Chains A and B, each alone.
Chain A
Amino acid sequence: GIQVEQSPPDLILQEGANSTLRCNFSDSVNNLQWFHQNPWGQLINLFYIPSGTKQNGRLSATTVATERYSLLYISSSQTTDSGVYFCAVPLSNAGKSTFGDGTTLTVKP
């Protein structure tokens, strides 16, 4: 099956810093989602981004489907950005997905 790798596994930032998280996948995909899992376990949808670039406030994402990777940019990080960031790609046309192992982000005040 398709493999999903995220990097880095852990990231510690000072508040206000910028960061880039990466998601590599082993096969072509027709959709990709980025999620933020907060410290209470809730997964929050950040982007549905099969290709191209999207921006939402301080966050933006770019997927280059032909090269099998996606990037999540976080600018001017805040302590509330802390948590685990997952990317997920589809396993089948039935909508089920496989998740990467996540990047754990800690933003220090």
Chain B
Amino acid sequence: GAVVSQHPSRVICKSGTSVKIECRSLDFQATTMFWYRQFPKQSLMLMATSNEGSKATYEQGVEKDKFLINHASLTLSTLTVTSAHPEDSSFYICSALNSGSPYNEQFFGPGTRLTVL
């Protein structure tokens, strides 16, 4: 149980294009999901909290118009990197909280490696 998937696992795109990453909770419902970014040999940095049916909450320094988040259902959140540039190249990871559990235990997707040329 508590499986989270991400798609795609790897994407290479040209500068200026937009890229959408999907995060799905496969066997539980998640009203709250999180998006992280991880640079090589560094820790995870929280970008935003994705809330089902409402606007995402962004961490300080994260541009909401650059990183669009949509959480339209209890099992799916999407992150769109708009007008991507080489500095957006990174490893993006999502996590989900099980709405049916009293514990705030996060379950992570396998990550998406984005390379912007």
Contact = CB atoms under 8 A, between A and B. Distances in A.
Interface of A: 31, 33, 35, 40-45, 48, 86, 88, 90-91, 94-102
Contacts of B32: 94-95
Contacts of B43: 86, 99-102
A99 B107 contact: no
A18 to B, nearest CB: 25
A61 to B, nearest CB: 14
Could you say which of A35, A94, A95 has the most chain B C-beta atoms within 10 Å of its C-beta?
Answer: A95
A41 B93 contact: yes
Contacts of B107: 45
A31 B46 contact: no
A43 to B, nearest CB: 4
B67 interface: no
